[in-house]
Every structure is written in C-alpha cells, then in structure tokens.
Structure 1
Amino acid sequence: MQGKLNQWGSALTQARLWSVPGVTVLALMASLAVFILMLTVSFTLGAQIFFAACFFSAALYIRRYAGTMVTLVLLGMSLLASTRYLAWRFSTTLGQGFSADFVWGFGLCMAELFLCVLIALGFAQSVWPLTRPPSPLKKDSTEWPTVDVFIPVHGKSEDPIRRATLAALALEWPRKIINIYLLDDDTRHEIKELAESMGAIYLAHPDNQGGKAGAINAALPETKGELIAVFDLDQAPASNFLKVAAGWFVRHLSLGMIQPPTHFLAPPASEVNLKDCPVSQFAGVCALIRRSMLVKVGGIAPGPPTVQAHTALKFQQGGYGNAWIGFAGEDQPDNAQQARGAESSGTATQTLLRVDHPFLGRTLRWKQRLASLQAMLKFYYAVPRLVFFTAPLAYLLAGVHVVETTPEYLLAYGLPHLVHAHFAQARLQGKSWFTFWTDMRETALAWYLLVPTALTLLRTEFGKFKDAFSPNKTDKVDPFDPIIAWPYATVLALNLAGLGAGVAELMTTGRGAQVLTTMYLGWVICNLMLLAAMLAVAEESRQIRLHSRTQRRQPAMLQLPSGRTLSCVTENFPQAALAMRLPAPAGVEVGATVGLSIFRGDREFAFPARVVSNQDLFMHVGIMDAAQNDFQRLGVAAFSRDQNWPQWLPGRNADRPLPEWLTKPMIAAFVRLLSFIEKLAHAMRLVRLGHWIQKWKR
C-alpha cells in the first residue's frame, strides 16, 4: 500500500540537504546516538511495557505500507528490540558467581546471541534486493555470441532426456550459433541414437570422475561456443532464456556467470539477488557461463559437495562477476527427505572455510566475506535448537535457574524481540516463508547437519557427498524412519519427564514458585508440540517419484469414434498416458482410436490417441507413437513459460501464523472500537482525531 508515509520517505531521501558535505556523517552519528540511548536506557517494568506497546503499535501501523524505506524501519526496530533484549539478558538475568545457574544461563544467552547474529547477518544481505532487468541484444543476430548447451544425463532414462533436449531445442536462438550437447558418464548407444535423431551431440566421459563437474570440464576442449548454458534434466528453461541473459555478457565484459531465477512446479524460489552482497553461488545447473573465464579459473570445481560454493568463489577470487537476474526469495532445503543434500551443502561450506579461506581472498569485499560467514554459521543452528529444547529441563528436573528473572520482565523484554523479528522476517521473505513451518523444517534438519558439519570443520576428508534419496519402484517402503525419529524421541522423552516433574511441583510448592514453574511448563509444552510434529513427519511414508513433477491440469476435448465431442480436463499433462476427467461417462471400448485436442490459450493442438482404460468419469488414453514428438514439444512449451512462473508464488501475504477464523473476529472487534472512538471524537468536535482514525481504519 502507498500513502503519506511513502511520500515522506521519498521526500526525505531526495532532499537537497544530503548534497551538503558532512550532512550524511552527522545524520549517521545522530542516528547512532539515538540508537545507543534507546539501547542503554533502563526502564521500570511499567515503562518497558509502555515502550514495547508503542513500538508494537508503530510497527503494526507502518508494516501495511510498501517500499524499501518502510522495510528499513521495520528492520531497525527489530534490531533495537533484539539488542535491548540481549543487553537485558546478559546484564540482569545471569546467576551470581561460577555456579550451575550461571553456566546454564550463560549457555542459553550465547545460544540466543548466536541466532540474533545470524538473523542480523541475514538482514544485512536481504535488506536491499536488486531486480536486474534483461539487457537487450543487438538487432543483428549475426553478432550474437555462439552458445553451447550442456545437459548432463548421467544414468537417466530416455523420457527425461527427450524432454530436456526438446526444451533446449525450443530456445529462441539462431540455429547456426547454438549446439546442444548431452554429457554422459559412459557410452550408451541408445542415448547416442536418441541425440542424433533429435539433432543433439552426444559426448561421453569414460573415466566418470567428478560427476557433473567432471563431465562439463571434459566437454570444454571439445566445444567452441563463447557462452555455455548448463541445464539439468528436471528443468524446463523458458524459451527466451538466452535472450534474457546473454545481453549482460555483451554489456559487462567482466561478467563470468549469470543465472536467472528458477522455480519448481510446487514453487519455492531458488535464490536471492542482493545489491549489497554480490555473492551469488553457482547452483550447478540453469546457468550461462562465459567459456574464456571458466577456462581461466580451471573449469567447474571438482567434487560434488563443493561444486556450488567453490565455483562461485573461484569466479569471485579471479575478479570475474557472477550474478542473478530477476528476483526470487530465499530458499533452503524443504523437508527431512532432502537432509542428505543439506548435509552435503553444509559439508561443502565448512570445506570452503578450511580449504579456500574466503576471508583471506584479496579480491573479495568485506560484504562478501560477511555473506560467506553467514552461510557457514547457519549450518550450526542445531546447537541453539538443542539448547532451547533442554533449557527448561534444567529447572524442572535439576532445579537450576537458567533465567534469573520474573515472568513479567521476561515477557516485557522477550515478547517485543520475538514479535519484531517475525515482522522483519515476514517483510523480507513473506512470499516463501511460513512461521511455524520454518521452525519444523529447521528442527528436522538440525540433527543431520550438526555432526557432519562439525566433523568437516575439524577434518575436511570426513565430508562425503550423498545424493538425494530416489528409490526404485520395487524398493521396500518403510512407513517409519528410525534415523529421523530417535533424536526427537529422546528429547521428547526428556521433555515429557520435565512436564511430569513440573506438574508435580505445582501441587507441592507455594505461589511464588508456582509462577516460575508455570513459565517453564509453558516452554516445555511448546517444545512438545514441535517435537510431536517432527515425529509425525518421521511416521510419513517415503515419497517415491520416478519422474519429475511436470504435471498439470489442462483443458482438452475428446472426439469419440461416433463423431461426438466431449469437453474434459487432463489430470497429468504432458504425460504420454493421459488421465482424463470426463463430465459424463463415455461408452468407448478399450483400444478404440479417439482424437484428443489440447488447448493452450486460443490455439488448439490435435493428436491421435488410443483408449487404455475407461471407467465411469475417468478415461486413460495413450498418444500414438507418430505424434509423440509433437506432443512432447507442446508439453515443453507449456512448462517453459517465462512470465507466468512468478504468478504461481503465494504472494507477500502468504505467511499467516494465526488462522483466518481467529483474526477476522479480532479485526472486526477492533474496527468497531475505532468506530466508537471516531464517533466520540466527532461529538467532542475533535475533527482531526476523527479523520485520522477514519484513515487508519482503511
């Protein structure tokens, strides 16, 4: 939403006053002095509650407005609330002397400090996203750079290879200056014949060293394109990919690698493009690379665990640019099934710290070093998670006071810290960030990441690469995963013991101790809810997927043998065996030939098909072999759309920690209260107050 607040912010940033020498420095010093004053001032309990309420009301009001200025204000408020909380924790809530209370309390404070530093580094990177538009190419296509498209096909079957090759052939680029290469780890004659039939070039990498990186490096001497595009089999690049990205190589001669945003069909976005921290990592696929600079840095970094971070660092240390175009929100591993990949990523990051030493790179900026530090620290969030799960047990089971304060003071200082941190995170990552889902995901991955990353930090040779789990259809599926479950079960048992001890203490102690025990019991109950969710995840059946998730509903029409047409919807387009949902049963025998029309926009695409099964409102048809190539091309065109991908994202208001059935009555009651105050203000002839309330209600 735009309003007066945005106008004031725009007028402030564009004021002529900033052109006066020294004004910027004075403004920074004054802002720092105010920040330190608000940080160090000591409040009574009532004053702290009033201060927190004013801060909360201001944040709740301004977060409705769009703009970078508002984002900066929300982040500043979050940092101030968190810093005040940490200063209060270290100064007044630790035990006296070197006692058990002090040791446990200090450990909890350090865990909170670790997370706050991690969040602050994330804010510093994400505060100013940069939307980098496409750079136009010259009108004369003969002056465009030559392109080699590399598609690693290691161990994959013909169907995904055919889809990926068709997607590459659909790229909008002159045929004379583009070549498609299928990179394999061993010679497979059927794949070679497939490549030749589709107009691609098959290159085998016999020694099978280095995985995808080794295959790409081995293909460099055998190819000659100025630019190299790398695609994975599970990706369908937009047809205008090269036109969008290649212009930047002509515009910036120091640019070595560029990547566009990528989205899965169930889309979290893939990366962050930052103005103040130019440290884009190489994702391994869906990238456009300048050949000459790739050769100068020694090719793709070998070793699957380190290919992403090491390749990006090699470009940065060589003085070459690597960037993202477009904008997408942060993305991290999505669930416990992907923990193997996260473990390898954490191992790669710690290996980067021990081997390549990004802090010593002369060509790296201090912002890039901070970004590397944040990437390394985030793999140790398992430590504070474990501290938070066990801290209340120290009091409930052993009588150790980890927080030397009353519940009232803890809420007065701790609640603003949590609420403003949520406001800031939702502001930066609201399109792909969900409050409680994030906690569950991070907790699920914590146990996997702690041990391998710690071992790799000590000895880099301990790091091993593990591919994502992809079983065959005949594999035995165990509905319960004990490897995932046992850490949660252990901590869950301890928290249940703490819950029992706390309930027993409530029945036997006085009122003063009961208040403190109730606070720790509430903490334990929150832990139990999160741990129960983790055990529920461990109980889920494994996901077995033989094909990439390229399926969608598509309007279609069937032409029956009788000449009758039937409007229907495909359930799994563009699979060759289509499942059709019919509006009414169709009396068609199995094996009959039907006509199938797929609609994309205003265009109709007709294909011959044969009925495989027909039951009630569902019919399965198979596309005839003669029309397979045309059908696959249509599927590629449907899934390689450029402008429609971002529209699939849930939007800025996706994160709703409170359900709608609860927030609607609360908002309605608050609006009625404002209406009453507005009428009272008009009755008392307080016109300005009435207009202000009316405007705020909107």
Structure 2
Amino acid sequence: MLSNVIYFLENYSYYYLSIQLFIIFLIFILTRYNIISRHVIIIYTVILETLYIIWRFFFTLVFDGLFNLIFSLLLYFWEFIGYFQQMIFYITMWNPLTRKTPELNGFTPTVDIFVPTYNESLDILKRTLVACTYIDYPREKLQIYVLDDGNRNEVKQLAFELGINYIARPDHKYAKAGNLNYALSKSSGELIVTLDADMVPKSNFLKETVGFFQKRKVGFVQAPQAFFNPDPFQYNLLSTKQIPNEQDFFMIEMQAGKDRFNATMYVGSNTIFSRQALNSIGGFAVGSITEDVATGMLIQAKGYRSFFVKKVLAKGLSAENFSELLHQRDRWCRGNIQAAKIWNPLIIPGLSIMQRLIYLSGIIYWFFGIQKLVYIFSPILYLLFNVQSIRSTLVMLLVIWLPKMISSSLTFRILSNDRRNIFWSHIYETAMAPKLALSAIKETIGLKSSKKFRVTNKGIISNKIHIEWGIFTFYSFMLILSLFGISKVIYLYFIGKMISSGDIMNVFWALYNLNGIIFSIFVSIEKPRYRKAERFPVTLSCKMLVGNTTYNGYIKDISESGAKAQFELSVPMIEQTCKIYIPEINSSPLSARVVFIPSEDRFTTRFFWEKLSLEQYKDLIKLIYDQTEDLIHEYKMHNHSGFLHTFLRNINDKLQNISRTKKRSNNVSLNSNKNSKNISM
C-alpha cells in the first residue's frame, strides 16, 4: 500500500504539491485570523511529518558502502529524535493554559524570600534586594533573606542598611542548592520565594502568586524569567528591536503548555514554594550542578500540583556576552543530564505518562548540538566526498519534504505566538551547537569538566570588540567547506558535467545551513558594551533647577545611573550639581551632574545621578522596574527580523566599523608625520 502511495505521488507530483501548498497556506491564514482552531493546523502538520518520517525510513536510507550506511543511519536517527520531540511539542502546545489569579481574600501565609548570591556585583544585588523591600504584602508576614555564599562584609553591611536578614553558611557544599537548603533550616515561613541575585521582583509578585496556595496540595508556582537587557543574539546581531530574548518563547509559551499536564518546570528563580512540599523531598535537590528541574519534578512526583502564572513578575539580566551565554548553557546542559542520571523521569515513581514524556523531551533537547552538527556535516560530506546520507529523486524530496517543512514552520509560528520562528531557532541552535555537543557527550560518558564551577557573570562592561574564538574558528572553517562544496557543483555544471538530484538537494541544504553558519560567526564577534546600567525609554515630565534658573522638560530615557531629558530652553554646559524634580519620585529632587549636551541639539541633556539617598534610590528602582508588562504585544518578533534585513544590518555595521578603523589609522598616521616634522625642525 505504501508503494502505491509513493507511485501516485511520483506520477502526480505537480498536482499533489500544488494542492498541498494551497491547503497549508489556507489553514495558516484561517488559523491566523482565528477563523478555525489551531488544532487543525497541528493535526495536518502531524500527518505530513509522519508521512515524511515513514518515507525516509522505507525509501531513502543508503545501504551501499560503509560510510554511506553509517551517516545515513546517523542522520535518520537524529531526524527521528526530532520527530519524537515535535510530537511532544504539539501535544504540549495543543491547549496552553492562561490561569486567572485567585483573590487572596485575607489569605496571607508567612513568606520567606531567598536571594542567594555568590560573587555577583553589589550594584546588581542591591537592586534586587531593594525591590524585595517594596513588595506589596503585610510586613509582619514577610521576611527577606540574602544568602551570601561569598561571605562578603559588604553584603552583610548592605543587608543591615536595608533591614533584611543575612545568612552565611560555614561551608559551600552543593553550591546554590546547598545554600537554599541551609536557609530553609534557618527560617520558618510557610511559603518560600527563590529569586536569583539579578532578578528584580515587581511589587505585585506575591499578590499574583500566593493565592494559588489556597488550593489543596500546591507545591510551587512559577512565573516567567524575563530580561531587561538584550541577550548576545539581540545585541551582537543588531536585532534588539526586531526579536525578543532567546528564552522568551520557552519561559512564556512552553511553560503555559506544560502547565496543563502539571509539568511546569522550576527554572531556578521567580518561584514560590510550599515549605511542606520542599520538606517532602528533603529540600532542594542536590547532586547536580543545576538544582531547579529536579526539584520541581520531584515535588510533582510526590503528588503536588504546580502552576504557571503567565505574567512578568520579575525581570533580570540575561547573559551579556556570547562567551558567558555558552558557559551558562554548558552548565544547564551538564546539569540536566546529571539530574537525569540520578532521577530518571521514565522510572521515578509518581509521574504521569505525559509528565515523563515532557521531562524526557526536555533532557533530549540538550543533545541538540550533536543533532545540529549532523545536519551541518551531511551536505558537506556529500558535496566534497560523495558520502550519501539520503537517497531520493529531487521530485520526491520536494513532494514529501517541502509541504512538511512549510507546514511545520507555519505551525511553529502560530504555536510560538510570534515569540520565535524557525529561522531564529536555526540560528540559536547552530551558534551553540559545537559547545553543547561537546558538553552533552562529555557528561553522558562521565567525563568531568576541568573548569571550576562559577555562576554566569553579569554586569559586564567592555569598550573593545571581543571574539569567541572557538565558535568563530569552527564556523569559519564550516563556511569555507560549504562554499567550496557548492562551488564544486557549480563548476561541474558550467563545464557540462551531469548534475544529479543529490547534487542539487545538498547544494540547497548547504545554503540553508549557511544562514546559521554566517550568523553564528557574526554573533561570536562581541560588540562593546559601554553602559553600566540599562536605559529604559519613558516620557516623564521633569524640572531641572540650576542656580536660580528652572528648565521645564521631559525625560526620554532613564536608568539607575542617569537620564536623558529634552528641555524647552537650550541648556548651557554647567559644572555645578543641579537638581532634578520628577513628580513620580516622591523623594525628589535628585542631585545630578550634566555630562553631555549635543552641539547640534542644545535642548537635549544627559546627566548622571549624584549621591542618591537610600530613599531616593528605592524610589528610582521602583519607578524603573515596577511597571506593568504587556505580554500580548511585547516579547514578540517584529518587522525586519528576517534573513535579508538582519544580514544587511550586520554587513552595513561591519563596513562602518572598517571605515571608522581606517579613519582612525589615517589620523594616527597624519599625527605621527606631523610630530616627526616638528621633531626634525
């Protein structure tokens, strides 16, 4: 029967392909405008992907030649793994939940907020601790603890100034999990909040989460991790305004899907636990370098319920350069594999079938580096060494693969709610693949990392371009091999040699891979980060008092270190400290120092804050970070996020950098010549 289907597709390929593409785009448009359910496009895509994976197994594997067989089976294995993960993804995203926040109605259990720290800068930690002090909750029911594994006197002094509890344990066993467990033994709150040192909570954090614990046997409530600074992909690829943070899709959309199966993942921060639930598993899970996923899974396995709140209740710092992001993901990758070895989700008692499959899929995800490298090397091996990993006519490949590829891409766009697309997923995975492939292999076979454990560096400032040489070198080599292979086929075509379906297929495959390769090279070139604090666009009326002169205007952007303002009158460059009145800050005026006035626009002024009191600093932090987030319109893909626009932006930036460098070199050369003449005279 299957052979008859293939025979039909080969003989009526044009009609079949045309009808399929028409149906796919029709379903996509109808789904996009909410005329039909998203379930229709999911079902249709599942059918096409299942047809493809069956066709691949029965009709495209290559058995002649040892190398052909090895790479053919290897490619199919990873495609089947991808198919399995896609099926779990579609089930997970079938009907994601958006929960309504329960009213407290006088329900106010005691709450302990834990902020573990190791070596984070005091500025970053202070911001988070200050934000904790203005959380809206009865003061007598709330205790804030800074858990200092660095045993720093300055952190102890900061805790004293803010009136919060300071805990430093005698040893540092089990890293963050051990730190949290020690704090559990020194506190008594019925509920426990965990916040990373850089995560700034909003004042409504507890109002939006505590109410869920009125229900029976609730283990934990998770809110998304969101970020207020651009990640390395946004920053290095000049796409801060075009794409959301790389983690937003998982943190917002996928967590909402997992919530339906009581499989919400604890992600290490922005979480509130029942102390009873933590005690039932012996505290935060230890034995892995990442305590989070295992802790949440063990609580769910004990029969406790978990909930996901689809609201941004805290925001923090994303990894600020690509090297640090790779270090962070290496730790997550190894930690998840370590946890799976200790607590295998397939055999641990108490989990449902879907919980097991969701956690299994989450562990398999961390092997994507190997999968992506197989996809990158396959066309290169064919074009350069004629190693075949798939055998098919071009017509059959288009008939079976193209509808599946288009349908899955459009379905992913709908299910991701425009927070990611296939193009950017390809870039993310390609860029991290070499590092994480090595991490996954080493951890799976039990090779210990030679590097000492450390947390991800945050608050990085740099005035130079830095290159992540490992990724840059690897993908430069892949770029050369890919271009050489493609050029080889083009050359053979122009000298009149026969070009096979395999040649054409692998050329286009290599071209697709070049998208990820080129942007991986771009993202590995770190752009300088000059700002100590992130700026946030605002429109706030203000007054600047300089001596007896008052300038009325409005603030255009603001940060913890200063602001930019537009005034009605031109502002002179002044040396003395001025006073800034902002109605939204009760402790105004703030002392400030003018640092820059553009020569072409004397009405615009930049200034730095000077000697803020603790009360002024608190008001400033609340003004900047305690804003309502719009998840419907924010954290999404925007215009000019596609390949062409992104590529042109980056090429233009590289050309401008070269031009600026040449101008500086010429200026240095001219100055050197002048100095030489002056000396000779």
Structure 1 length-normalised TM: 0.79
Query: Counterpart of 2:158 in structure 1: which amino acid?
Result: L
Q: CA deviation at 1:607?
A: 1.4
Query: Counterpart of 1:93 in structure 2: which amino acid?
Result: T
Structure 1 residues 17-56: aligned runs within 5 Å: 42-56=7-21
Go from structure 1 to structure 2 and tell me whether the alpha carbon gap of 1:584 and 1:499 turns closer, same or farther (over 3 Å shift). farther
| Contact 1:256 1:322 (8 Å CA) reproduced | yes
Q: CA deviation at 1:204?
A: 1.8
| Contact 2:117 2:197 (8 Å CA) reproduced | yes
Rounded to whole Å, the distance in 1 between the matches of 2:190 and 2:83 is 45
Rounded to whole Å, the distance in 2 between the matches of 1:229 and 1:550 is 28
1:234 paired residue among 191, 195, 198: 198
Structure 1 residues 275-286: aligned runs within 5 Å: 275-286=259-270
- Match of 1:438, SS state, is helix
1:59 paired residue among 17, 24, 37: 24
| Contact 1:390 1:495 (8 Å CA) reproduced | no
- Residue aligning to 2:570: 585
Go from structure 1 to structure 2 and tell me whether the alpha carbon gap of 1:195 and 1:645 turns closer, same or farther (over 3 Å shift). farther
Q: Which moved more, 1:166-175 or 1:417-426?
A: 166-175
Structure 1 residues 147-162: aligned runs within 5 Å: 147-162=111-126
| Contact 2:555 2:563 (8 Å CA) reproduced | no
Query: Counterpart of 2:224 in structure 1: which amino acid?
Result: P
Rounded to whole Å, the distance in 2 between the matches of 1:557 and 1:168 is 27
Task: Please give the per-residue CA displacement for 1:141-189, whole angstroms capped at 9, x wherever unaligned.
Answer: xx52011112223334443333222211211111111112222125444
Query: Counterpart of 2:171 in structure 1: which amino acid?
Result: D
Q: CA deviation at 1:440?
A: 1.2
Task: Please give the per-residue CA displacement for 1:327-373, whole angstroms capped at 9, x wherever unaligned.
Answer: 68xxx999844121111111122112212122111201111111122
> Unaligned stretches of 5+ in structure 2?
230-243, 313-317, 647-681
- Residue aligning to 1:323: 307
Q: CA deviation at 1:477?
A: 5.2
Query: Counterpart of 1:397 in structure 2: which amino acid?
Result: L
Rounded to whole Å, the distance in 1 between the matches of 2:348 and 2:40 is 34
Query: Counterpart of 1:487 in structure 2: which amino acid?
Result: F
Whether 1:70 and 2:37 are equivalent positions in the alignment is yes
Q: Which moved more, 1:406-415 or 1:457-466?
A: 457-466
Rounded to whole Å, the distance in 2 between the matches of 1:624 and 1:336 is 33
Task: Please give the per-residue CA displacement for 1:456-476, whole angstroms capped at 9, x wherever unaligned.
Answer: 112275596453245865x89
> Unaligned stretches of 5+ in structure 1?
1-35, 662-698
Q: CA deviation at 1:225?
A: 1.2
Q: Which moved more, 1:612-621 or 1:69-78?
A: 612-621
- Residue aligning to 1:84: 51
| Contact 2:592 2:608 (8 Å CA) reproduced | yes
- Match of 1:63, SS state, is helix
Go from structure 1 to structure 2 and tell me whether the alpha carbon gap of 1:471 and 1:485 turns closer, same or farther (over 3 Å shift). farther
Structure 1 residues 181-330: aligned runs within 5 Å: 181-252=145-216, 254-266=217-229, 268=245, 269=248, 270-271=251-252, 272-273=255-256, 274-302=258-286, 305-326=289-310
| Contact 2:111 2:142 (8 Å CA) reproduced | yes
Whether 1:431 and 2:413 are equivalent positions in the alignment is no
| Contact 1:263 1:645 (8 Å CA) reproduced | no
Q: CA deviation at 1:286?
A: 1.3
- Residue aligning to 2:559: 574
| Contact 1:607 1:631 (8 Å CA) reproduced | no
- Match of 1:360, SS state, is coil
| Contact 2:212 2:218 (8 Å CA) reproduced | yes
Identity of aligned residues (%): 21
| Contact 2:220 2:307 (8 Å CA) reproduced | yes
Whether 1:369 and 2:356 are equivalent positions in the alignment is yes
2:607 paired residue among 618, 621, 627: 621
Q: CA deviation at 1:421?
A: 0.8
- Match of 2:582, SS state, is strand
- Match of 2:104, SS state, is coil
- Residue aligning to 2:456: 468
Task: Please give the per-residue CA displacement for 1:172-210, whole angstroms capped at 9, x wherever unaligned.
Answer: 111111112222125444433332332212222232333
- Residue aligning to 2:509: 523
| Contact 1:68 1:128 (8 Å CA) reproduced | no
- Match of 1:152, SS state, is strand
Rounded to whole Å, the distance in 2 between the matches of 1:569 and 1:38 is 70
Q: CA deviation at 1:248?
A: 1.0
Q: CA deviation at 1:567?
A: 0.8
Query: Counterpart of 1:437 in structure 2: which amino acid?
Result: W
Q: Which moved more, 1:282-291 or 1:68-77?
A: 68-77
1:412 paired residue among 367, 376, 399: 399
How many residues are aligned here?
Answer: 611
Q: CA deviation at 1:276?
A: 4.2
Whether 1:557 and 2:557 are equivalent positions in the alignment is no
- Residue aligning to 2:619: 633
Go from structure 1 to structure 2 and tell me whether the alpha carbon gap of 1:291 and 1:440 turns closer, same or farther (over 3 Å shift). same
| Contact 1:610 1:622 (8 Å CA) reproduced | yes
| Contact 2:412 2:421 (8 Å CA) reproduced | no
Go from structure 1 to structure 2 and tell me whether the alpha carbon gap of 1:93 and 1:153 turns closer, same or farther (over 3 Å shift). closer
Go from structure 1 to structure 2 and tell me whether the alpha carbon gap of 1:641 and 1:611 turns closer, same or farther (over 3 Å shift). closer
Q: CA deviation at 1:54?
A: 2.4
Whether 1:354 and 2:341 are equivalent positions in the alignment is yes
Whether 1:448 and 2:435 are equivalent positions in the alignment is yes
Structure 1 residues 584-603: aligned runs within 5 Å: 585-587=570-572, 589-594=574-579, 596-598=580-582, 600=584
- Residue aligning to 2:519: 533
Give the root-mean-square deviation of aligned CA atoms. Answer: 3.3
- Match of 1:322, SS state, is strand
- Match of 2:466, SS state, is coil
- Residue aligning to 1:116: 83
Query: Counterpart of 1:559 in structure 2: which amino acid?
Result: M
Whether 1:495 and 2:493 are equivalent positions in the alignment is no
Rounded to whole Å, the distance in 1 between the matches of 2:261 and 2:319 is 22
Query: Counterpart of 2:155 in structure 1: which amino acid?
Result: I
Query: Counterpart of 1:506 in structure 2: which amino acid?
Result: Y
| Contact 1:574 1:632 (8 Å CA) reproduced | no
Q: Which moved more, 1:236-245 or 1:271-280?
A: 271-280
Whether 1:650 and 2:615 are equivalent positions in the alignment is no
| Contact 1:239 1:642 (8 Å CA) reproduced | no
- Residue aligning to 1:486: 473
Rounded to whole Å, the distance in 2 between the matches of 1:240 and 1:412 is 53
- Match of 1:224, SS state, is coil
Task: Please give the per-residue CA displacement for 1:571-597, whole angstroms capped at 9, x wherever unaligned.
Answer: 3x2324334355653125211433x23
Q: Which moved more, 1:280-289 or 1:560-569?
A: 560-569
Query: Counterpart of 2:574 in structure 1: which amino acid?
Result: E
Q: CA deviation at 1:78?
A: 1.1
Rounded to whole Å, the distance in 1 between the matches of 2:265 and 2:201 is 19
Rounded to whole Å, the distance in 2 between the matches of 1:235 and 1:482 is 30
Query: Counterpart of 2:43 in structure 1: which amino acid?
Result: G
Go from structure 1 to structure 2 and tell me whether the alpha carbon gap of 1:479 and 1:167 turns closer, same or farther (over 3 Å shift). closer
| Contact 1:257 1:321 (8 Å CA) reproduced | yes
Query: Counterpart of 1:577 in structure 2: which amino acid?
Result: G
- Residue aligning to 2:588: 606
